[in-house]
Structure 1
Amino acid sequence: MVPVSFTLPFCGEEFVLTRSNAVYWPRERALLVADLHLEKASFFARHGQFVPPYDSRETLERVANAIRETGARRVYTLGDNFHDSSGSTRLEPHAAGMLAALTRAVDWVWITGNHDPHMEAANGGELAEEVEVNGMILRHRAQKGETRPELSGHYHPRVQLTIHRRHIRRPCAVVSHGENQTCGRMILPAFGALTGGMNAGDPAILKALQPADEIDAVVPTKERLARFPLWRRAA
């Protein structure tokens, strides 16, 4: 099971931010992953940029490992599941078999994103633009002005640190809170094997999470969840 030291309280619930960049919701036995971008390599290849074509295999293996480690019974993918809406048609047989096995093993809900708005659930699972689970809104992109608890993806946030003159960039979650630490919203790190990242303190991310009083980057380390303040409302 995922180490309890990584537990992240959020909106009256306990979530677990794993070092693989997934979020586990113990009460729902649900695994949340954002921005898989499956078949990104084959998309690039179609446009003349050749990279090793195994990104989907690697990403799906990481999903399988996260399911085993957490004991999840349901998976929610928070959009940009494929790098484009026709990505599922390009899965090579091995990766297609991996995905089909995963969607048979657990309840699987695909939430669509801006990269794959017209994708089909050709390899199993259900499709939705967004869902609400016990008062939590699960969608691809954070909506500015949203006052309900929300979990989303889209931005691929990374925290940038300088430690002993070394520049370090790590995927992170970005969590907002209202007044007196009241409920806020969370942007998940990108999960896919072939994804880049945006500075967690980028104005686009901070703007998307308004209204808020505090916004933090949260990074799982070997020992704990480390928090880094990104924005505070002026007194």
Structure 2
Amino acid sequence: MMSADTTLMVMGEELLLVPERAIFWIQHQVLIVADVHLGKVGHFRKAGIAVPQQIGHEDLACLTRLINRLQPQKIWFLGDLFHSDMNADWQHFANWRRQYPDIMMQLVIGNHDIIKQQHYHDIDISTHHELVEGPFVMLHHPQNDDCLKERGKYVFCGHIHPGVTLVGKGRQSVTLPCFAFGERQAVLPSFGKFTGRVSMLHRQNDRVFGILKEKVFEV
């Protein structure tokens, strides 16, 4: 089944929200993802906790499908790309990255990106504290209102793994991953599947897009 993407205009730029929990900036051919948390499975397994190894590999397979479908020229990772210190998952990731030498990959350093940045540079991924392109700034941590006003650009970030809670008529509820677009800032869902999510408090004028397996829909 084809993915049901949603198109959104922000600051005059056309964005494609895809159910794989990523954004494709159409004019610049950039794929934007946050909080992949590769290596988290290896981190748990190294500690003796039985987690299926294929979980982490599925996230890279999902990235591969997005590359094949959208043909990005760049991929921006908004922090927490690799969850822990070096473990067995790194080599699998390095091999995956080398399959796409023509795609520029850039990482905004997150709080879990604790390995030496040279490891990223060795596989042709540049590292940054922020990325600025056109009307947008790419960060890892969400910014408060004062910081957003000072920047004067629209911020994209991750870190908090946002979710939206939907309540049914029978009081049953479900919390779905979501994209949360405020007046000056968008918070992306965690791309990695081996992560939790936090139900966010949204402001009245925010635009929130819930994510099902094959559909993005405005709440």
Shorter-chain TM-score bucket reads 0.7 to 0.9
Could you say what secondary structure the match of 2:181 adopts? strand
Give the deviation of 1:200 after TM superposition. 2.1
How many equivalent residue pairs? 208
- Measure, in 2, the Cα distance between the counterparts of 1:224 and 1:125: 29
Identity %: 24
Counterpart position of 2:137: 137
Q: Kindly indicate whether the alpha-carbon contact (under 8 Å) linking 1:40 and 1:55 is maintained by their aligned counterparts in 2.
A: no
Cα RMSD for the two superposed structures: 2.3
Deviations 1:122-150 (A, max 9, x none): 43211111110113100101121212210
Counterpart position of 1:170: 176
| TM value normalised by structure 1 | 0.79
- Measure, in 2, the Cα distance between the counterparts of 1:174 and 1:190: 12
- Gaps (5+ residues) in structure 2? none
Q: Kindly indicate whether the alpha-carbon contact (under 8 Å) linking 1:41 and 1:50 is maintained by their aligned counterparts in 2.
A: no
Q: Which range moved further: 130-139 or 112-121?
A: 112-121
Q: Kindly indicate whether the alpha-carbon contact (under 8 Å) linking 2:4 and 2:215 is maintained by their aligned counterparts in 1.
A: no
Is 2:215 aligned against 1:226? no
- Measure, in 1, the Cα distance between the counterparts of 2:114 and 2:89: 18
Is 2:74 aligned against 1:74? yes
- Measure, in 2, the Cα distance between the counterparts of 1:116 and 1:99: 17
Q: Kindly indicate whether the alpha-carbon contact (under 8 Å) linking 2:4 and 2:19 is maintained by their aligned counterparts in 1.
A: no
- Measure, in 2, the Cα distance between the counterparts of 1:106 and 1:117: 24
Q: Which range moved further: 37-46 or 117-126?
A: 117-126
- Gaps (5+ residues) in structure 1? 178-183, 207-211, 228-235
Amino acid at match of 1:218: F
Q: Which range moved further: 33-42 or 90-99?
A: 90-99
Q: Sort the Cα spacing of 1:61 and 1:131 in 2 relative to 1 into closer, same or farther, 3 A.
A: same
Q: Sort the Cα spacing of 1:44 and 1:13 in 2 relative to 1 into closer, same or farther, 3 A.
A: same
What is the 5 A alignment of 1:24-173?
Answer: 24-84=24-84, 86-87=85-86, 89-91=87-89, 93-102=91-100, 104-120=101-117, 121=120, 122-144=122-144, 145=146, 146-147=148-149, 148-165=153-170, 166-173=172-179
Give the deviation of 1:163 after TM superposition. 2.8
Q: Kindly indicate whether the alpha-carbon contact (under 8 Å) linking 2:209 and 2:216 is maintained by their aligned counterparts in 1.
A: no
Give the deviation of 1:94 after TM superposition. 4.1
Q: Kindly indicate whether the alpha-carbon contact (under 8 Å) linking 1:200 and 1:217 is maintained by their aligned counterparts in 2.
A: no
Could you say what secondary structure the match of 1:16 adopts? strand
